Amino acid sequence: MQTLALKSPGRNARAARVRLCDLDELPVGLGRAFVVAGRTVAVFRTRDGNVFATANACPHKAGPLADGMLVGHQVVCPMHAFRFTADSGECDQPNVCAVTTYLVEVEGTAVFLTLPAA
Amino acid sequence: MTTRQKLVVIGNGMAGARLVEDVLALDCDRFEVVMFGDEPYGNYNRILLSNVLNGTQDPKEIFLNPLAWYEENNVTLHAGKKVTRIDREQRVVYADGVEQPYDVLVLATGSKPFVPPVPGTTLHGVFVFRTLDDCRNIADYAKGKSNAVVIGGGLLGLEAAKGLMTHDLASVTVVEMAPWLMSVQLDEAGGKVLGQTIEKLGLKALTKTSTAEIQGHTHVTGVKFADGSTVPADIVVISAGIRPNIDLAKECGLACERAIVVDDQMRTSDGHVFGVGECVQHRGMVYGLVAPLWEQTKVLAEVLTGTAPEKVYTGSKIATKLKVMGVELASMGRIGDLKDTDEVVQYSEPARQVYWKAIVRDGKLSAACLLGDLGPADNLMELFKNDAPVPERRLEIFFTAGSAKKDVSLADLPDSHQICDCNGVSKGTICTAIKAGKCTVPSVGKATRAGTGCGSCKGLVKGLIEAVAGAVKADPSEGWYVPAVPMDKPTLVAEVRKRGLKSVSEVFRELGTGVDEKSKMGLASLLKSLWNDEYVDERDARYVNDRVHANIQKDGTFSVIPRMYGGVTSADDLIKIGVVAKKYDVPMVKVTGGQRIDLLGVKKDDLPKMWADLGMPSGYAYTKALRTVKTCVGSEFCRYGTNDSTALGIALEKRYQGFEFPAKVKLGVSGCPRNCAEATVKDVGVIATEGGEWEVSVGGAAGASVRKTDVLCRVKTQAEALTVIGRFLIYYRDNAKWLERTYDFVPRVGLDTIKRVILENATGLWEYFDREVEATIAAYRDPWLERERPVYAGQFEDAKTVALPMLS
Q: Is the pLDDT of residue A80 over 60?
A: yes
Residue B136's pLDDT band, with cuts at 50, 70 and 90, is confident
Q: Is residue A6 part of a domain?
A: no
- CA distance linking residue B150 with residue B176, whole number of Å: 9
Looking at residue B402, its pLDDT comes to: 38
Q: Is the pLDDT of residue B5 over 80?
A: yes
A10, exposed or middle or buried, with CB in 10 Å at 0-12, 13-18, 19+? exposed
List pLDDT tens digits, range B382-441.
888 888 888 888 888 888 543 333 444 677 778 888 888 777 788 888 988 888 888 888
Asked whether the beta carbons of residue A95 and residue B41 sit closer than 8 angstroms, the reply is: yes
CATH of the domain at A24: 2.102.10.10
**What angle is formed at CA B557 by the lines to CA B555 and CA B561, rounded to 5 degrees?**
130
User: Does the annotation place B279 within a ligand binding site?
Assistant: no
Q: Which CATH class is domain B113-243?
A: alpha beta
Domain made up of B418-473: CATH architecture: Orthogonal Bundle (1.10)
Answer whether residue A11 shows pLDDT above 50.
no
Structural domain contains residue A99: yes
Question: Domain for residue A35, yes or no?
Answer: yes
Half-sphere exposure of B71 toward its Cβ, with a 13 Å CA cutoff?
A: 3
- Determine which helix (DSSP H) or strand (DSSP E) holds B67, and give its type and residue range: helix B67-72
Cβ(B384)–Cβ(B375) below 8 Å: no
Domain ranges of chain B: 5-110+245-305, 113-243, 319-397, 418-473, 478-542, 624-781
With an 8 Å Cβ cutoff, is B63 touching chain A?
yes
**Whole-number pLDDT of residue B475:** 65
| Contact residues on chain A for B805, CB-CB shorter than 8 A | 16-19
Bridge-based pairing of strands B327-332 and B319-324 is antiparallel
Q: Which amino acid is at B333?
A: G
Distance of CA B78 to the CA centre of its chain: 31
What percentage of residues in chain A have a pLDDT greater than 70? 86
Q: Give SS3 for B345.
A: strand
Chain A contact for B801 (CB, 8 A cutoff)? yes
B797 shares contact with chain A (CB less than 8 Å): yes
Which of these CATH numbers, 3.40.50.300, 3.30.413.10, 1.10.150.530, 3.40.190.100, describes B624-781? 3.30.413.10
What is the pLDDT averaged over residues B83-101?
93
Query: A22: nearest CA in chain B?
Result: B793
Please tell me which residue, B420 or B633, carries the higher pLDDT value: B633
Contact A41, A81 (CB under 8 A): no
CA angle B320-B326-B328, nearest 5°? 35
pLDDT-based confidence at B64, cuts 50/70/90?
confident
First and final C-alpha spacing in chain A: 29
B800 and A35 in contact by Cβ < 8 A?
A: yes
Separation of alpha carbons B677 and B709, rounded Å: 13
Mapped onto helix, strand or coil, the DSSP state of residue B84 is strand
Judged by CB atoms closer than 8 Å, whether chains meet at B547 and A21 is answered as no
How close B547 gets to chain A, by Cα (Å)? 9
Of B42, B505, B515, the CB nearest to A71: B515
Q: Would you state the pLDDT for residue B186?
A: 85
Examine the pLDDT at B1 and tell me if it is beyond 80: no
Name the strands in the sheet holding B171-175, side by side, starting at the edge strand that comes first in the sequence.
B126-128, B235-238, B147-151, B171-175, B204-206
More confident residue, B455 or B195: B195
In a domain, A100, yes or no: yes
* B139 or B474, which is more confident: B139
Are B49 and B8 within 8 A, CB to CB? no
Check CB contact under 8 Å for A33 and B800: yes
Do residue A40 and residue B799 have CB atoms under 8 angstroms apart?
yes
List CB contacts (< 8 A) between A30 and chain B.
539-540, 547, 792
- Asked whether residue B174 carries a pLDDT value surpassing 70, the answer given is yes
Q: How far apart are CA B140 and CA B134, in angstroms?
A: 10
Name the residue in chain B with its Cα closest to that of A24.
B793
How many Å apart are CA B316 and CA B333, to the nearest integer?
A: 10
- Following CA atoms B592, B598, B604, B605 in sequence, which dihedral angle do they give, to the nearest 10 degrees? -170
B59 touches chain A (CB under 8 A): yes
Q: Considering only alpha carbons, which residue of chain B is nearest residue A117?
A: B808
> Chain A contacts of B622, Cβ < 8 Å?
none
Give yes or no for residue A13 having a pLDDT over 50: no
For residue B284, give the amino acid letter.
Answer: G
Has B439 been labeled as part of a binding site? no
Q: Nearest residue of B to residue A57 by CA position? A: B556
What integer pLDDT is reported at residue A10 of this predicted model?
47
Mean pLDDT value of segment B550-579: 94
Report residue B652's pLDDT band, with 50, 70 and 90 as the boundaries. very high
Q: Is the pLDDT of residue B454 over 70?
A: no
pLDDT for B804 equals 78
**pLDDT tens for each residue of B221-262:** 999 999 999 999 999 999 988 899 999 999 999 999 999 999
- Chain A touched by B543 (CB under 8 Å): yes
Closest CA of chain B from A100, distance in Å: 18
Q: What is the pLDDT of residue B58?
A: 80
Nearest to B144 by CA among B234, B54, B236, B57: B234
What span, in angstroms and rounded, lies between the C-alpha atoms of B490 and B531? 15
Q: Distance (Å, rounded) from C-alpha A55 to C-alpha A33? A: 9
| Residue A6, pLDDT score | 54
CA separation for the pair B529, A79 (Å, rounded)? 27
Query: How many structural domains compose chain A?
Result: 1
pLDDT tops 80 at residue B651 = yes
Confidence of residue B474 (pLDDT cuts 50, 70, 90): low
Give the sign of the dihedral formed by CA B273, CA B276, CA B279, CA B284.
positive
Q: With contacts defined as CB-CB under 8 Å, which chain A residues touch B544?
A: 67-69, 78
Longest dimension (CA), chain B: 98
Give me the pLDDT at residue A7, please: 47
Closest CB from B505, B538, B805 relative to A18: B805
pLDDT above 90 coverage of chain B, percent: 53
Closest residue in B to A46 (Cα) is B540
Average pLDDT estimate for B499-525: 91
Residues of the domain holding A103: 16-115
What's the confidence (pLDDT) of residue B404? Answer: 39
Ligand-binding site membership of B135 (annotated): no
Chain A closest CA to B793's CA: distance in Å?
A: 5
User: Inter-chain contact A79–B554, Cβ cutoff 8 Å?
Assistant: yes
Q: Pick the more confident residue, A44 or B159.
A: A44
Interface pTM (ipTM) of the complex? 0.90
Inter-chain touch A33–B798, beta carbons under 8 Å: yes
pLDDT at B408: 43
Which one of B44, B540, B554, B558 would you mutate to disrupt binding with A, by most A Cβ within 10 Å of its Cβ? B540
A13 CA: distance to closest CA in chain B (Å): 10
Among the residue ranges A8-12, B233-237, B295-299, the one predicted with the least confidence is A8-12
pLDDT at B680 over 90: yes
Per CATH, the homologous superfamily of domain B5-110+245-305 is: FAD/NAD(P)-binding domain (3.50.50.60)
Residue B491: pLDDT over 80: yes
Distances from the Cα of A112 to the Cα of A7, A34, B483, angstroms: 18, 12, 36
Stretch B711-728: mean pLDDT, rounded? 96
Give residue B472's pLDDT: 66
How far apart (Å, rounded) are the C-alpha atoms in residues B276 and B591?
A: 59
For residue range B355-364, list pLDDT tens digits in order: 899 999 988 9
Q: Per the CB < 8 Å rule, is B802 touching A27?
A: no
Shortest distance, CA A33 to any CA of chain B (angstroms): 4
B171 — contact with chain A (CB < 8 Å)? no
**Least CA distance to B506: which residue of chain A?**
A47
Chain A residues with beta carbon closer than 8 angstroms to that of B136: 95
Q: Which fold has domain B319-397?
A: Enolase-like; domain 1 (3.30.390)
**B476 pLDDT band (50/70/90 cuts)?**
low
Size of interface A-B (CB pairs under 8 A): 107
Query: Is the entire prediction scored with pTM above 0.90?
Result: no
Mutate to test the interface with B, among A20, A25, A30 (most CBs of B within 10 A): A30
Averaged pLDDT for residues B508-520: 88
Residue A71 with chain B: CB contacts under 8 Å: 515-517, 520
Is there a domain that residue A71 lies in? yes
Domains B5-110+245-305 and B418-473 share a fold: no
Report the SS3 class of residue A72: coil
B613/A contact by beta carbon, under 8 A? no
Mean pLDDT of chain B: 88
Q: Are B178 and B207 in contact (CB under 8 A)?
A: yes
Tell me the chain B residues in contact with residue A29 when contact means C-beta distances shorter than 8 Å: 505, 538-541
